Amino acid sequence: MRKGSANIAVTRRLFLGAAAALASFLPITALAAHGASPLKVVETTIVDAPPEKVWAVVSDFARADWLPGVARVEASGDDVPDQARRRLVMADGGAIEELLTKRDAERMMLGLHREGDDVKRLPATNYTALITLRPAEGGKTEVEWKARFYRGHPTNDPPPELNDDVALVAVTKLQRAYLAALKAKVEQR
């Protein structure tokens, strides 16, 4: 039984590899189609640094090379919401494009939207995040990383690998990794 399922997994990986190779010839288009039920994940952490110091890192949208798996960042557009874009060139060779949707220095909130979906990398679509900093006890900072997204399959009756649960697990894991990386980046100084 175990052997059988491993074979299926390998086959699927090969198939996805072929799909990726094909997709790399296509222009990146924002796959706007998504379903009726947005999902939400809220993760928080405490960073041992004052909010201003954390905000300096979080709000620097163009230089987010501290994000896990990112080799370098290519920024474009004016550094204001709805214009600033960043292309996260990943260490594995892929790329993620994000648009700055919000930067509120007073409330220490930063919003971003992933442009274009890649369910091989993240089995979710239309990913939007809102990062909020709040003062915590002892001069520390509470960082909240909230996401809104849809499952990987855009319509009803999703296949098991692209259902709500898979998307929730993947995004939760991703955001925990983001927060851990932010904490490491700020606290190391």
Chain residues binding another protein by CB under 8 A are: 32-33, 35-40, 81-82, 101-102, 111, 113, 128, 130, 146, 148, 155-156
Nearest-approach distance from CB 89 to another protein, in angstroms: 25
Nearest-approach distance from CB 179 to another protein, in angstroms: 17
Nearer to another protein, 102 or 140 (CB): 102
Nearer to another protein, 45 or 101 (CB): 101
Give the count of beta carbons closer than 10 Å to the beta carbon of residue 46.
14
* CA distances, 40 to each of 12, 15, 90 (Å): 28, 30, 25
Nearer to another protein, 158 or 186 (CB): 158
Nearest-approach distance from CB 155 to another protein, in angstroms: 5
Nearest-approach distance from CB 143 to another protein, in angstroms: 16
Nearer to another protein, 35 or 77 (CB): 35
Nearer to another protein, 120 or 148 (CB): 148
Nearest-approach distance from CB 149 to another protein, in angstroms: 12
Tokens read off for 101: 């949707």
Tokens read off for 150: 């849809």
The position carrying tokens 């990726």 is 20
Secondary structure, 3-state, 111-171:
EEEECCCCCCCCCEEEEEEEEEEEECHHHCEEEEEEEEEEECCCCCCCCHHHCHHHHHHHH
Return the closest-CA partner of residue 61 out of 129, 118, 135, 127: 129
